[in-house]
A and B are shown apart, each in its own frame.
Chain A
Amino acid sequence: MSPAPDASTHGDGSGTQVRHGGSPGRSRGRSRGGDRVMVPDADFTSYYGRPIVKAAPWEHDIAYYLFTGGVAAGSSLLAGGADLTDRPGLRRAGRIGSLVGLLLSIVALVHDLGKPSRFLNMLRVVKLTSPMSVGTWILSLHGPFAGLASAAELVGMLPTRWQRGPVRLLLRLGRPAGLVGAVTAPPVAAYTAVLLADTATPAWHAAHEELPFVFCGSAAAASGGWAMVTAPIAEAGPARTFAVGGAAVELVMAHRMETSMGLAAETLHTGTAGRWMRASKVLTATGAAGALLGGRSRVLSVVSGTALMAGSFCTRMGVYEAGMASARDPKYTVVPQRERVERGEQVRHQG
């Protein structure tokens, strides 16, 4: 019999064939993308190939946010460092990167929620068990300071005759605000990993050990890349170091993640996510190499900085898509759990 056309929510990742009328069957779960298959075909049963867990109802906005948030956080750090080490060009690049990142993040978040008030709605409680609540508070803490520092930077760019009264005050607040922003930036970069991992989405949850490192590395690479593009070459040294280090961490930890995730890692190699992830690796590696070798060339700097940013963007997109794919295909929920059960290692509370 032909496979039954399934309902709308049935994505492209289905591994189960419906034989006919009513028989959801035990069948070969096979990745359809034709990409590399890391895990042998799994035999599993599902209910008409329908997903078990629900994919997060998040659009690509969230992937963009992961990226812009990372850029913003890393940029705040660079700006802070630059401020302390007196690199005004780099500081400006950092602060502007932070501002642009934050603004885009807010656009993405609000778009995802529908209206701004819904963001504020989250501030009615503090909930430690909710990474989103925690993240909201982190953002609410970081955002104003980073924003203030960026505002100071912008004001600093104004003609001096306008820098009067309260504006001067703002200028003076730039440094302390920027430093607070820098110190609160790492949580911004890191919490998004927890946000994703703290779900039932197989690929995200399975990655919970390494994902914070991947995301932080990615943030460093992207923000470093941004600074390589926007800051004066002479001052961009730390940014390059930061970027190269970030890229290295990202690549290494992503590799570790893929090997420790089990079956769900498959989703990082196949389909759309696979394409993003491969692009990410190439771009990140290239960008890092470029930063190492040709950091003093303006052109190479811009090219490798852009590559690093693009690589980070691809990582975020890849992780997002892998999560979605892993939620849509029941295989990634059933097989690991079934294997646990069959090994007699169900998750049980001990004592």
Chain B
Amino acid sequence: MGPNSLFGPLDPASDAGYTDAPKRKGFFTDTSVCIGCKACEVACKEWNDVPENAFEMLGTSYDNSHSLNANQWRHVAFIEKPAAKPSAPSVDLGMPAVGAPVSDVPQDEKPDFQWLMSSDVCKHCTHAACLDVCPTGSLFRSEFGTVVVQDDICNGCGYCVAACPYGVIDRRRGPEGDPKVGIAQKCTLCYDRLTDGQRPACAAACPTESIQYGDVDELRERATARVELLHERGVMDARLYGNDPDDGVGGTGAMFLLLDEPEVYGLPPDPVVTTKDLPRMFTRAGMAGTALLIGAALSFVRRRP
């Protein structure tokens, strides 16, 4: 354990004791080019043999898979929202020959409109609360710096579920009989494919390269360049999420380019790994426990029969 093992920038694989680890791997999900095709959702399920999630129309735009959970390791969010009113059309209508009288379609009847789509996934946090709190060692840090669950070790305690600041990991619910029911499940960043030198199934399936897989260092640079380009093109809403190694989880292995505030996509605006405060918690618990012991002793001391 290094000084930053609970909080602060660090290379997770070497912190976990790997000596000759490959470069940290992760995702950069550029939601500005996501077309919501859900190929990533399906590819993930096909490759990882994840069963269906729910046959339920939710009425939340085209999102019928609800959220990341044990049966949904990729989740595409759909957000319909009226954008800021478009600025008035530029003056010259460029039709010298044909006069163009004022349009009888009032501008406000045609709100400019945005349909945001974003494919969410486990963030493979630098400081992964799920991994930190797991009492069985079922969750482990791979040599690629990713966070992986081992089905056969997990005891289903569910601690990781409550610990993840993004609400990613979950225990698989029924039907009984499936050996993985009750076991925590989430994206493995296709650990089996990575060890085979292949890229993750979801990234391979994504047609528009909204999901980019690669070395986290390089992806961070790419993400920064992309957001700068979008700003140059006037897309001032573009922002990065999870790319800052100084942030509350030490930066994520899966970062995002978003077009609105994180919470619009169901992401926490400023997540912090809960174990950042763990030393303090243990200190307080120690104090409380000591107080309890002393209190107990005092109860007897004061009134000796």
Contacts and interface: CB of A to CB of B under 8 A. Distances in A.
Chain A at the B interface: SS class:
helix
Interface of A: 4-7, 9, 18, 21-25, 44-48, 50-58, 73-74, 77-78, 80-82, 84-85, 87, 112-114, 117-119, 121-122, 124-125, 127, 129-133, 136, 182-183, 185-187, 189-191, 193-194, 197-201, 204-205, 208-213, 215-216, 219-220, 234-235, 237-239, 241-242, 245-246, 249, 327, 330, 333-334, 337-338, 340-341, 346-349
Contact of B137 (A127, A191, A249, A341): A127
Given A212-B284, A346-B270, A189 B248 contact: no
B286 A190 contact: yes
Interface centre among B132, B136, B281, B302 (most CB of A within 10 A): B281
Interface stretch (B40-48, B56-64, B85-93): B56-64
A7 B66 contact: yes
Contact of B6 (A5, A117, A129): A129
A7 B58 contact: yes
A186 B293 contact: yes
Contacts of B244: 348
Interface of B: 4, 6-9, 54, 56, 58-63, 66-67, 69, 77-82, 115, 129, 132-137, 153, 155-159, 161-171, 182, 244-248, 250, 261, 263-272, 274-278, 280-282, 284-293, 295-300, 302-305
A245 B299 contact: yes
Contact of A50 (B67, B269, B274): B67
Contact of A53 (B63, B115, B166, B304): B166
Given A55-B162, A129-B275, A190-B286, A197 B281 contact: yes
B291 A249 contact: yes
Contacts, number: 296
B285 A191 contact: yes
A180 to B, nearest CB: 13
A220 B160 CA distance: 30
Interface centre among B82, B270, B278 (most CB of A within 10 A): B270
A114 B182 contact: yes
Interface centre among B66, B171, B268, B300 (most CB of A within 10 A): B300
Given A125-B136, A200-B274, A245-B299, A47 B293 contact: no
Contacts of B280: 208-209
22 contacts: A4-B60, A23-B81, A24-B79, A47-B77, A51-B67, A53-B162, A56-B161, A57-B170, A119-B155, A121-B153, A121-B155, A122-B135, A127-B135, A186-B288, A186-B289, A193-B288, A197-B274, A199-B159, A242-B295, A337-B271, A347-B272, A349-B7
Contacts of A130: 132-135, 159
A334 B300 contact: no
A57 B291 CA distance: 31
Closest 3 CB pairs of A and B: A22-B61, A22-B80, A47-B266
Contacts of B67: 9, 50-51
A45 B161 contact: no
A77 B300 CA distance: 11
A331 B58 CA distance: 21
Contacts of B289: 186-187, 189-190, 212, 216
A54 B158 CA distance: 10
Contacts of B132: 129-130
A205 B134 CA distance: 17
A52 B278 contact: no
A205 B274 CA distance: 7
A215 B291 CA distance: 12
Nearest to A82: B300
Contact of A81 (B8, B115, B246, B299): B299
A129 B278 contact: yes
B155 A201 contact: no
A112 to B, nearest CB: 8
Given A6-B58, A47-B266, A48-B60, A131 B295 contact: no
A349 B250 contact: yes
Contact of B247 (A189, A334, A346): A346
B135 A133 contact: yes
Contacts of B263: 44-47, 52, 330, 334, 338
Contacts of A327: 162
Given A132-B135, A340-B270, A346-B270, A118 B156 contact: yes
Nearest to A197: B281
A215 B62 CA distance: 45
Nearest to A80: B296
A335 B181 CA distance: 34
A118 B164 CA distance: 21
A343 B292 CA distance: 39
A22 B78 contact: yes
Nearest to B170: A54
Contact of B291 (A216, A235, A330): A216
A190 B82 CA distance: 50
B299 A242 contact: yes
Contacts of A9: 66-67
Nearest to B138: A121
